[in-house]
Amino acid sequence: MITVLIVDDQELVRLGLRTLIENEDGMSCAGEAADGLAALAAARRERPDVILMDIRMPGIDGLAATRRITGDPDLAETKVIVLTTFERDEYVFDALRHGASGFLLKDTKPAELLRAIRAVVEGGALMSPSVTRKVIREFVSKSPRPTRPHPNLPALTEREREIVVLAAEGLSNDEIADRLVISPATARTHVSRAMIKLGARDRAQLVVFAYQSGLAD
């Protein structure tokens, strides 16, 4: 059973998400929170598999809450999906950088949201064909943040660097395997090793590191 914590300051939004999740086989709602502090407390209490996190909330916003949750060793297995009204939200990049597994627009179709929840639980991230990759590119290329190569970048093999670049393009493991003419299992192994070497929480953060380090543009 996948447990989902819903965090949004709008009661109507929470109600809609709760109804959707509780009517889906294999999912249950672990609770609700209307602000970042309540989200942090609920996450520590319920240890949900996934948190649907609104960004703009009173008090501690979703960005600060995401940073605290993903930085808590006791919540290492909890995945955060950021929900936003705006496709180009200045906070989305920072949320991904601080460990969110991806983000979705609030007008995402219900079936797509449910697929996203299952994807992050299975270790994936909301890369392609979602707008996550576009937002990362947008804020890395147009923000004043300078390129900062990851300190562990030299630890990657040439093949691992190549795989990281392809992951940043939004390719799945199967697509990477096809591109490089290797098995999907080998592609998964290279991705996993790159994540371990760079200390990436998940695939989304691996892609962020790729853009920050100048491996992708």
Tell me, what's the pLDDT at 143? 56
Is the pLDDT reported for residue 125 higher than 80?
A: no
Find, among 94, 90, 43, the residue nearest to 69 by Cα. 43
Please report, rounded to a whole number, the percentage of residues in the chain having pLDDT higher than 90. 48
What span, in angstroms and rounded, lies between the C-alpha atoms of 15 and 30? 13
Cα 216 from chain centroid (whole Å)? 18
Cα 7 from chain centroid (whole Å)? 15
Domain with CATH 3.40.50.2300 in the chain: 2-141
Task: Report the pLDDT averaged over residues 90-117.
Answer: 81
Domain with CATH 1.10.10.10 in the chain: 148-212
Tell me, what's the pLDDT at 128? 40
Helix or strand or coil: residue 51?
strand
* pLDDT tens column, 54-90: 988 888 888 899 999 998 999 988 999 988 876 555 6
Yes or no: domain 148-212 corresponds to CATH 1.10.10.10: yes
What span, in angstroms and rounded, lies between the C-alpha atoms of 100 and 120? 10
Architecture, CATH, for domain 2-141 = 3-Layer(aba) Sandwich (3.40)
Task: Report the pLDDT averaged over residues 169-184.
Answer: 88
